[in-house]
Structure 1
Amino acid sequence: VLLCGAATAVAGPIAFVGLVVPHTCRLLVGVDHRWLLPLSVLLGAVLLTAADVVGRVVARPSEIDVGIVTAPIGAPFFIYIVRRQKVRAL
């Protein structure tokens, strides 16, 4: 969780998509990288394109940042992934 927060702070909110999408794809297709990598690329592009379109349509004539649109989608899922894992001692 700390690494995710640091990566998002350094690279911006779009990096958050790069952390959430592969986990989503892993739930869909398993751990086989022959399917995981192409599906991650496809779903990441679809998610960012959809977020950009929603951000442009919702707040016409101005725009909402892609990171703001992806946060309500990705944050609950990432919290679910973190809470699902067993708590390990640091």
Structure 2
Amino acid sequence: MKLLTKEHRSLLITVGVIGAGILYIGGRGAGAVARSAAAAGNAVNPTNRHNIFAEGVNSIGDILNDGVDDDDFSLGAWIFDITHPGQ
């Protein structure tokens, strides 16, 4: 007595392949979501020197500093220079 007919085996193989494909694609999607969440977290992390707020302030200060966008301004360095004259 056969437990599975040829049609049932074909159906089970097809369902298995489709399920494996869904798991593979879902895993890749979850990885992309995790990478995007990490990038967004770093963009607003206050301890990250390259967060969007620090980059924005430094970009504006760079233009106001000498009129040229040459990345020679840092708000932290400017505050240090103001509070420690002559050093």
Same fold (TM over 0.5): no
Higher helix share: 1
The two structures have a TM-score, normalised by structure 1, of: 0.31
Bigger radius of gyration:
2
- Given the two structures, how large is their TM-score scaled by the length of structure 2? 0.32
